[in-house]
Structure formats: structure tokens, C-alpha cells
Structure 1
Amino acid sequence: MTCDGTVNAAYVYLTEPQAGVRSAHMHPCDPVDVDGMINLDFDEQGRLIGIEVPAAGSKLPAYLLRSAERQDTEGS
């Protein structure tokens, strides 16, 4: 998982980040159903490869955000 505190977003990888798997299709979840946007990324074969979580501070537990690889300088 990566986290960027400057934009309050996190990304949960369901593959090895170093594997270089690219998203071929993004499916946004209904913001009303999840109280904000969450995006699901799929590869060319239709497999779920990652979850983008905008507003991560209000959607994910603090311990997950603390343990995430930082993509910003905040929290390093």
C-alpha cells in the first residue's frame, strides 16, 4: 500500500508494485454508496489489481496509513 498525505489518498496493490502490471480499466464505485469515491483498477484479463482510495484518512484505519509506503515527505 502507498499513501500520499499531500492529497490524502492511498493505493492498495493487489499485485507486486514492482511487477509493472498496468491498469487497463478503472471502475469508479458509486460515491453515494461508499460516502466518497473509491476506484477499482483491473488488468487486461479483468483481474482486480488495485484499489485507489481518495480521502484515505476518513476511509482507512490509521494503522494502515502509518504502515503504508509514503509517496510524500509528510509522515516520513
Structure 2
Amino acid sequence: MADVRVTYDKTANAAYVYLTDPQVRRKVSRMYPCDPVEVGGMINLDFDEEGRLIGVEVLAASSKLPEYLLDSAERLDTEGP
């Protein structure tokens, strides 16, 4: 199973799921926002220059992602796990 890097900022209630090799930095060239009405919040899909999905930004993350995932995510706020 592949390791997926997830970061979470509890203060902003925002998470980011990285879908690329953690050793390789990919530049976001296009962001596609999902309809907030359809998903009940804001979710943005980030694509690289070759059209590959490289990450997913989830706002209102605590209501969209499982608690275990947020608990194990790398924290970006000062609170820590």
C-alpha cells in the first residue's frame, strides 16, 4: 500500500491530501474547484502541467474526512496531534 501524505490545519479546518511522491515537488498548474453546494463544502482538485491529479484540498475538513485521517495527519497549526 502506498503512503499518502496528509496535512491538516485545525485552526483553518483545512486538509491537503498529496497524491504524488513525497520526494518530488510538482507545481500546480490548474485547480478545479468542486461545486460547494453539491459536496456540502469546498473541495479543490490540483493538477500538474501534464493533467495529472496531484492533490486534493479539503476545506471544512472535519466534516468531510474521517477523524482517524485528521488525527494522523501532519499538523500545520501550532496545536500538534
TM, length-normalised to structure 2: 0.88
Greater fraction helix? 1
1:41 match: 46
Structure 2 residue ranges without an equivalent (≥5): 1-5
Identity percentage of aligned residues: 70
Whole-angstrom distance in 1 between the partners of 2:58 and 2:11? 14
Residue 50 of structure 1 pairs with residue 71 of structure 2 = no
Whole-angstrom distance in 1 between the partners of 2:60 and 2:22? 21
1:71 match: 76
Moved over 2 A (4+): none
Q: How many residues align?
A: 76
Structure 1 residue ranges without an equivalent (≥5): none
In the alignment, which of 12, 18, 23 is matched to residue 13 of structure 1? Answer: 18
